[in-house]
Amino acid sequence: RCDHSKLVVSLPSGGRSEFGMTAGDAEESEAESGGMGAKARLSLAQFHVRSSLSSLPAPQNEIERALPNEDDLAAAEDGFADDQEEDMEDVLERQRAAAEAARQAEWRRQSQAVQRHLPRPLLLPESALSRDGLGFFPSTFDDEQQIQTLILQREDEEEGGAFTKQGDAQRVGRRKAKAAEVARRLKEAEKLINEEVMVLLANDALKHPIKGGKAPSSVPQLEKLDDDLLHEAREMLRCEAELMQHQSEVATEGHLDQDRVARIFDDAQDAFIFSPSAKKFVLYQSLPGSERAEALKRQFEDLKKQVEATANRVKKAEKKYSVLTKGYETKATSLIERLEETYRDFELQAATLAAFQALRDRELPAIEKRKQEQQALVLREREKHLWMQRRYAALQRQKEELQALLAAAPASQALTSSEAMANGTSEEAKKADQETEE
């Protein structure tokens, strides 16, 4: 038996036991207990542990229940969507859709001449883009004095009075000043319109070039306007055009007479001619005799150049057409030859068919006659075979009877009877021959 009084707990230097006691504490406890045993020390340690644990506060298990609101859910979904990696095909499709929408919006901002594919000038003079070169367009309100007079006459006609009256000098002066201001504003407005039209033509020629045309080297930038403003301006122009259409002399019940408009356009176009001296299109009637001859000569040379250029283009087109369609022509030639050969074979087969049809028409009546002849021959042969069968049966019976008689009669009688039967047989044969002949 072991001595419990001598048991000690072996602990490393400076270490603690499983009960939270160091080696010094164990020695001190052993000294205080007066050398108590291991069980007593264990019980004491357990007591210390329980007392330490009992001094701790009791645990509190508090559970707070909370549900997320709509904002938290939306934020979580947005965060989840942001965390997801977008498919590259969706990205490209979105980019293409955005590019197409931008292209459509830019196309709607273009001029009506581009959108509706209306005729545009092929060549724009460089001087027309400058402020001093607006003579490219005809000026309607250049003569301010004449415009002022027309305005005063229109007002006088509307008021139903005379152009001037005595004792009303101030009113006349105000009217003249107002007419002069209107004429000046009309001239400025026309100048601004011509500048804007020239810039539009230059930008259209640069961004949307025409085949055979030449765009200017320097083009002023267009001001980018809002789409709503452009739509409003377009509606104003449409309303004004409809009003002018109703008031026009070439309109019938508010609808333009297209034939009359075409004739007027052709007449107006023929009334202008290019003047080499003025270097612009002018009225033919306004030119003197010498300039008319030069203008007509220039027009003839231009037409001759156009004809030559058209002939060259036609030759090039024919050559290109020949190169592009050479294989098709060869194939078509071979197919035509095969078609002709097939047609000849068809005609030969048609002639053969017609010959056989004629032969059939001639053979159909003869077939019935030959059929009747063959049927009669078959009947004769059948009767002949029936007679031969009956003849054979009769001879067979006679043979059997003779054999029976020969077997029953003596030899002498057999000879006599044989002769008699031979005679009878010859007589029957003669009768049968006679019947056959009949």
The pLDDT tens digits of the residues spanning 172-187 come to 778 888 888 888 888 8
Does 23 have pLDDT greater than 50?
A: no
Q: Rounded CA gap, 136 and 126, in Å?
A: 10
426: left (phi over 0), alpha (psi -120 to 50) or beta: alpha
Q: Count Cα atoms within 13 angstroms, Cβ side, for 131.
A: 2
**pLDDT at 162 (0 to 100):** 47
* CB contact at 8 A, 19 and 43: no
**pLDDT at 247 (0 to 100):** 63
**pLDDT at 16 (0 to 100):** 44
**pLDDT at 252 (0 to 100):** 61
Q: Rounded CA gap, 175 and 182, in Å?
A: 10
**pLDDT at 420 (0 to 100):** 58
Confidence of residue 374 (pLDDT cuts 50, 70, 90): very high
**Domain ranges, ordered by start, for the chain:** 112-156+170-217, 289-401
At 129-162, the pLDDT tens digits run 555 545 556 666 767 777 778 777 777 776 655 4
Q: Rounded CA gap, 177 and 171, in Å?
A: 10
Of 339 and 414, the structure prediction assigns the larger pLDDT to 339
Average pLDDT, the chain: 76
Q: Parallel, antiparallel, or unpaired for β 272-275 and 255-256?
A: unpaired
Does 195 have pLDDT greater than 70?
A: yes
* CB contact at 8 A, 201 and 121: yes
**pLDDT at 130 (0 to 100):** 55
Q: Tell me which residue of 405, 402, 406 sits closest to 428, measured CA to CA.
A: 402
At 53-90, the pLDDT tens digits run 777 777 666 666 667 677 777 776 665 555 567 788 88
Confidence of residue 205 (pLDDT cuts 50, 70, 90): confident
Does 98 have pLDDT greater than 90?
A: yes
Range in 28-37, 94-103, 346-355 the model is least confident about: 28-37
At 256-283, the pLDDT tens digits run 667 777 777 777 777 778 888 877 777 7
Judged by DSSP in three states, 393 sits in helix
Confidence of residue 332 (pLDDT cuts 50, 70, 90): very high
